[in-house]
C-alpha cells in the first residue's frame, strides 16, 4: 500500500485524470475526498471507490471560488482528520480558446479563473492543512504546453498552465523546509473527454498526433500512475519539478539551452 494512512483531496475527481487518480489512490490505501462541480460524476467516483472497498467522500466545489476551496479543505479534515496529499487537478479547455485575436475576454477570464486561480486557491487553503498534518505532497496539474507552444492555438489554456508551472516552483521553494513538497504534473495530449471535445475534428487530432513520438494519445490512467509517484514517499526528494509525462513531445521538440 503506497498511500497507507494518507488522505488525498483531488479536484476534478469526477472524470479523466482526477477520477483515475482517485481510484488508484484509494486502491493504494488513501482516504480520498473527491471534489467536482458535476455532482453525478463525483458521486460515481466515490461509489466506485466504495464498491472496491476504499474510503471516499464527495464535495461539490467550484475551485475558482475562495469559499468553496476553504469548504472542501474543511470537509476533508472533518471527514478524515487530516490532509496529506493535495491534488489540484481541476481544469477546463474551452472550445472557443484560440489565438490572441480570436479569444474573447470571457473565455480568457474563465480559463484563468479555473485553471490558474483554482490552483492558487487550493494551495491557499490546502497548504495550511498539510502543515497541520506535519507535511505532505501538493500536485498541480500543468501541461506540456506550459513548456512549449501548442500546435492548435489555445492561448488562454497555455497561459494558465504556464502560470501553474511558475507558481508551483515558487511554492516548492517557500515550503520545502516545512516537509511540504510541491510538484507540477505536465501531461501530454490525452485521450480524455476534455481534449477530444476540444480537438473535435480528425484534422485537429492528427495535428497533435504527428508531434507525439510514440504516435498515440496518452491515457488518464497513465497520468494517475505518475501522480501516485508524486503523492507517495517514493518521491521524497522530488520538489519543484516539472514532471513531464508526454509521450516524448518535449524531448523531441524542445532544444536544451
pLDDT at 256: 54
pLDDT at 71: 98
Residues of the chain with pLDDT under 50: none
Show the beta-strand stretches assigned E in the chain: 7-11, 31-36, 55-60, 85-88, 136-141, 180-187, 242-245
C-beta atoms surrounding 97 within 10 Å: 25
pLDDT at 254: 64
Instruction: Find, among 17, 257, 223, 249, the residue nearest to 148 by Cα.
Output: 249
Considering the segment(s) 7-241 as one domain, its CATH architecture is: 3-Layer(aba) Sandwich (3.40)
- pTM score: 0.95
Question: At what angle are helices 118-132 and 66-80 packed, to 10 degrees?
Answer: 30
CB-based contact 31:55 (threshold 8 Å) = yes
Domain boundaries, the chain: 7-241
From 157, 198, 237, 253, active-site residue: 157
pLDDT at 255: 56
Place of cell 488513501: 30
Q: What SS3 class is residue 93?
A: coil
CB-based contact 89:34 (threshold 8 Å) = no
- DSSP structure string for 142-185: --GGGTS--SS--HHHHHHHHHHHHHHHHHHHHHGGGTEEEEEE
pLDDT at 191: 85
Active-site residue flag, 237 = no
Pairing of strands 55-60, 242-245: unpaired
Amino acid at each position: 500500500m503506497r498511500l497507507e494512512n494518507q488522505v488525498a483531496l483531488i479536484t476534478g475527481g469526477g472524470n479523466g485524470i482526477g477520477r483515475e487518480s482517485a481510484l488508484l489512490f484509494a486502491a493504494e490505501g488513501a482516504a480520498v475526498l473527491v471534489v467536482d462541480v458535476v455532482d453525478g460524476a463525483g458521486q460515481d467516483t466515490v461509489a466506485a471507490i466504495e464498491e472496491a472497498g476504499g474510503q471516499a467522500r464527495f464535495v461539490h466545489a467550484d475551485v475558482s471560488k475562495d469559499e468553496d476551496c476553504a469548504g472542501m479543505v474543511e470537509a476533508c479534515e472533518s471527514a478524515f482528520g487530516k490532509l496529506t496529499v493535495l491534488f489540484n487537478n481541476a481544469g477546463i479547455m474551452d472550445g472557443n480558446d484560440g489565438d490572441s485575436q480570436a479569444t474573447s475576454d470571457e473565455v480568457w477570464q474563465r480559463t484563468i479563473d479555473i485553471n490558474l486561480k483554482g490552483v492558487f486557491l487550493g494551495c491557499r487553503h490546502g497548504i495550511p492543512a498539510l502543515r497541520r498534518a506535519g507535511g505532505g505532497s501538493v500536485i498541480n496539474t500543468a501541461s506540456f504546453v506550459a513548456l512549449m507552444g501548442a500546435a492548435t492555438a489555445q492561448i488562454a489554456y497555455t497561459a494558465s498552465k504556464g502560470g501553474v508551472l511558475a507558481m508551483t516552483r515558487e511554492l516548492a521553494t517557500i515550503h520545502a523546509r516545512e516537509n511540504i513538497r510541491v510538484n507540477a504534473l505536465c501531461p501530454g495530449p490525452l485521450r480524455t473527454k476534455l481534449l477530444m471535445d476540444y480537438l473535435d475534428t480528425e484534422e485537429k487530432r492528427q495535428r497533435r498526433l504527428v508531434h507525439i513520438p510514440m504516435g498515440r494519445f496518452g491515457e488518464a490512467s497513465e497520468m494517475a500512475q505518475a501522480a501516485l509517484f508524486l503523492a507517495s514517499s517514493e518521491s521524497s526528494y522530488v520538489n519543484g519539478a516539472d514532471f513531464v509525462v508526454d509521450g516524448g513531445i518535449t524531448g523531441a521538440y524542445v532544444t536544451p539551452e
